[in-house]
Amino acid sequence: MFESVGWGEILVLIVAGLFILGPERLPEAAAWVGKSMRKVREFATGARQQLRDEMGSDFDDLRKPLEDLRGLRNFDPKRAVTQHLFDGDADPLGLKENGYGNGGAKPNGYPASTPQADPLKPGEKPPVDPDAT
């Protein structure tokens, strides 16, 4: 119920209550808040139980869509679109089977990775291609 309230906010509320109510009435107010929360929780549990008793097996049918809605809290649209478009395929474009992921050849016959040239030695000039510059 208080998922978004952190310890800092609770501390501010306690300090504000201490200033507003004073130290002599603060314990009494805290007890009243605790009793009220307990009553609300009991009312909610009783209403849920009464609804379950009256509806019987239909209660589970009603509860399933509500649970699905709760699952939308962690909804990731990018993952959902990817899963819908590619049906959950880990390699939807076939990159590994075409040689891109495993060092094989590309579909056009060229190697998937270009070979790296040896590093230049100290004082050595890099090769220049006059047509390219």
Note the pLDDT of residue 44: 92
In a domain, 111, yes or no: no
Q: Which residue has the higher pLDDT, 26 or 39?
A: 39
Residue 15 pLDDT greater than 80, yes or no: yes
Q: Which domain holds residue 30?
A: 7-86
Place of tokens 């230049």: 120
List, in sequence order, every residue forming a beta bridge with 111; answer none if it has no partner. 105
Distance CA 100, CA 106 (A): 7
Its pTM stands at 0.38
Residue 39 banded pLDDT, cuts 50, 70, 90: very high
HSE, CB side, 13 Å, CA atoms: give it for residue 69: 5
In a domain, 16, yes or no: yes
In a domain, 117, yes or no: no
Q: Which residue has the higher pLDDT, 133 or 84?
A: 84
For the chain, the domain total comes to 1
Note the pLDDT of residue 107: 57
In the DSSP assignment, the letter for residue 1 is -
In a domain, 126, yes or no: no
Mean pLDDT (the chain, rounded): 77
